[in-house]
Amino acid sequence: QVQLVESGGGLVKPGGSLRLSCAASGFTFSDYYMSWIRQAPGKGLEWVSYISSSGSTIYYADSVKGRFTISRDNAKNSLYLQMNSLRAEDTAVYYCARVRLERRGYFDYWGQGTLVTVSS
Amino acid sequence: DIQMTQSPSTLSASVGDRVTITCRASQSISSWLAWYQQKPGKAPKLLIYKASSLESGVPSRFSGSGSGTEFTLTISSLQPDDFATYYCQQYNSYPWAFGQGTKVEIK
């Protein structure tokens, strides 16, 4: 069955960096586009970033553009999110999600999430 | 950018009730809309895609309708397992956008 397992979250000071990972299994990872979506405590869902199956097409939300970098390693069935210059407003649970590609795509499987807390 | 607005923000209902949640897009998104259910401390779960297509394994009491800018998610007979927060999401164009969520509470 499809499994997505995020890791790498934790407490970081403002201005710091963190790298999130998402390990995929149960499907042919290299065939699928993937995305990161976050949820601040007690708030709604916010799309963060998106990467095509080959990694050639990448999109970012304006709120993270220039600070976050999405990447993938199809040989390792893994998705990554490098987060730099972190701010308090980046505090959230970060989910990786598989994209079912129809039009721009929607999210058919989600990981359990990893909590990122940005605080001094 | 397309904005998604859900109403109501909170809905109180009883088991067996028919429940309807509305989602409006700031511009036409054709039928490129998905609905998700999220329970506390859990990841969202896909319920509906392309406005009205039921995801495999989702109970038939869930249904979606609409096109253009106005969409609805209906639960025909609310069950105890359905008390959760529901989100719509447009996938017509970048950037992807979610509604702010509708919490379905026990009356």
Q: B10 to chain A: which residues are within 8 Å by CB? A: none
Residue of B nearest to A95 (CA): B43
Instruction: Write down the mean pLDDT value for chain A.
Output: 97
Q: A61 to chain B: which residues are within 8 Å by CB? A: 95
Is B32's CB within 8 Å of A62's CB? no
Q: B43 to chain A: which residues are within 8 Å by CB? A: 95, 110-113
Q: Is A94 exposed, middle or buried (0-12, 13-18, 19+ CB in 10 A)?
A: buried
pLDDT of residue B85: 98
Q: Give B35 to chain A, closest Cα distance, Å.
A: 10
Is B91's CB within 8 Å of A106's CB? yes
B53-72: pLDDT as tens digits = 999 999 999 999 999 999 99
A69-94: pLDDT as tens digits = 999 999 999 999 999 999 999 999 99
Residue of A nearest to B93 (CA): A104
pLDDT band at residue A102 under the 50/70/90 scheme: confident
* Per-residue pLDDT at B90 exceeds 90: yes
Question: In this structure, are strands A68-73 and A58-60 parallel, antiparallel, or unpaired?
Answer: unpaired
Task: Report, as an integer, the average pLDDT of B85-89.
Answer: 98
pLDDT band at residue A111 under the 50/70/90 scheme: very high
Please give the Cα distance from A110 to B10 (Å, whole number). Answer: 24
String of DSSP letters for A15-77: T--EEEEEEEESS-GGGS-EEEEEE-TTS-EEEEEEE-SSS--EEE-TTTTTTEEEEEETTTT
Q: Is B17 on the interface with A (CB under 8 A)?
A: no
Q: Please state the φ and ψ torsions of residue B21, each to the nearest 5 degrees.
A: -115, 135
Q: Is B101 on the interface with A (CB under 8 A)?
A: yes
Q: Is B48 on the interface with A (CB under 8 A)?
A: no
B16-43: pLDDT as tens digits = 999 999 999 999 999 999 999 999 999 9
DSSP symbol at B66: E
Q: Is B39 on the interface with A (CB under 8 A)?
A: no
